[in-house]
Amino acid sequence: MTDTAERRAPAIVEAARRTLERPLASYQLVLGSTALLLGLGLIMVLSASSIFALRNYGNSFAIVQRQLIFAVLGVIGAIAASRIPLPMLRKLIRPFLLATVTLIVATFFIGVDVNGNRNWLALPGGFQLQPSEFAKLAVVLWIADLYARRQKYLGTPRYVLTPMVPIAGAVAALVVGQHDLGTALVLFALIVGMLWVAGLPAKQMSGVIAGIFVVLVFFVATAPHRVARLLNFTDPQSDPDSAGFQAIHGMMALARGGFWGVGLGGSRQKWGTLPEAHTDFILAVIGEELGLLGTFVVLVLFAVVAFAGIRIASRTKDPFVRYTAAGITIWIMVQAVINIGMVLGLLPVIGIPLPLISYGGSSLLVTLVAMGVLINCAKTEPGARRALAAGRASRARGRASRRG
């Protein structure tokens, strides 16, 4: 038995290597992992929100129906983003960034408060839009375009730092002004990540990180509820009925799930005990219903997205594609790591959705569009466009032969 396994291992490794050598490997990895995360997310939003929706709207499907609408819009946006020529995409970046900033500013005047964050705009039909979610993609694309145009000069720190840090930092500051520290944290991490990708020397990088740290400490220190959550992070049991309540019940959900889980729909915590069960803490419901195995599947899918994004960035010859793929990968991974760490009790609870899985129309829409852009980037890998064209031609011949 052992000898058989030993003989099979090299064959499996060799098969995996040949698969990854295919021109469309990155394209298919991004497409497949995105589809699986989206499908799992819709199923789990339905399960995690059914009781909350029934109590508040009289319809167990009310929340997942809203999520499904944004999923359809997001898939349409992803298809468009995957097919738009990259030169045309680059021409739309500045208007997109300007429109996003304008909408963020509008929230200070006509915004809607949700859980203390004034970062929503009311839409017809009872829907709401969160402009700060779109800022993530807008900032990624703007930085990628900036660095691609300055590729020859990025050996000089001045060209790496300006005007990237002032402008991207100003967008993050606007988000902080909305009291949305979670989204701002992702934007700050994105700034640092893009500086690292551009090759900023350690001395200047240390200064940027120190500056961001000071800003974050200031905004945490000036908000009593954030201070309470930070102090309670190491010992949630010290305040189990207030600051530690959400973290404790999230861990209870994970503990009850064990390895196999209690079964889809069988969560107890979603019956009102776990706050934000279908949004920020949906991973806890996944752990309870699908167990450690289901949680591990989520982690693997995000790891596949990270691998594919890094692979695209490292294999492409187009500087814009390199920075875009790196930026989207940094954004998705940072957000996923923060959310997962928060649910597992490894990070303080700051309120941030799990990409493609948590309920949230704006987050889902912009993340799907970003994955469409990443798929578009994957087409620039050597041989990818020829392989796609050959595949389309083969399918067309197959359809023609069946009709004949």
List the chain pLDDT tens, one digit each, 404 residues: 456 655 566 767 777 777 777 888 999 999 999 999 999 999 999 999 999 999 999 999 999 999 999 999 999 999 999 999 999 999 999 999 999 999 999 999 888 887 667 788 888 877 889 999 999 999 999 999 999 999 999 989 999 999 999 999 999 999 988 888 889 999 999 999 999 999 999 999 999 999 999 888 887 777 777 777 777 777 787 777 777 788 888 889 999 999 899 999 999 998 888 888 999 999 999 999 999 999 999 999 999 999 999 999 999 999 999 999 999 999 999 999 999 999 998 888 888 999 999 999 999 999 999 999 999 999 998 888 888 888 777 777 777 777 76
pLDDT at 65: 95
pLDDT at 1: 47
pLDDT at 118: 76
pLDDT at 386: 87
Q: Number of C-alpha atoms within 13 angstroms, CB side, residue 233? A: 16
Determine the distance from the C-alpha atom of residue 133 to the mean position of all C-alpha atoms in its chain, rounded to a whole number: 10
Q: What share of the chain is helix, strand, coil (3-state, %, to 5)?
A: 75, 5, 20
Burial class (CB in 10 A: 0-12, 13-18, 19+), 203: exposed
pLDDT at 125: 77
What would the two tokens of residue 336 be? 């996923």
With contact defined as beta carbons under 8 Å apart, do 158 and 168 qualify? no
Alpha helical stretches, state H, 84-223: 86-110, 131-149, 157-161, 164-177, 181-197, 202-221
For the full predicted model, state whether its pTM sits above 0.75.
yes
| 347 phi-psi bin (left φ>0, alpha ψ -120 to 50, beta other) | beta
Q: Which has the closest alpha carbon to 329: 16, 30, 27, 17?
A: 30
Say which DSSP state 345 is in.
T
Position of tokens 């695209």?
A: 312
- End-to-end CA separation in angstroms for the chain: 51
Q: What is the CA radius of gyration of the chain?
A: 22
Give the neighbor-by-neighbor strand order of the sheet with 112-114. Answer: 112-114, 117-122, 128-129
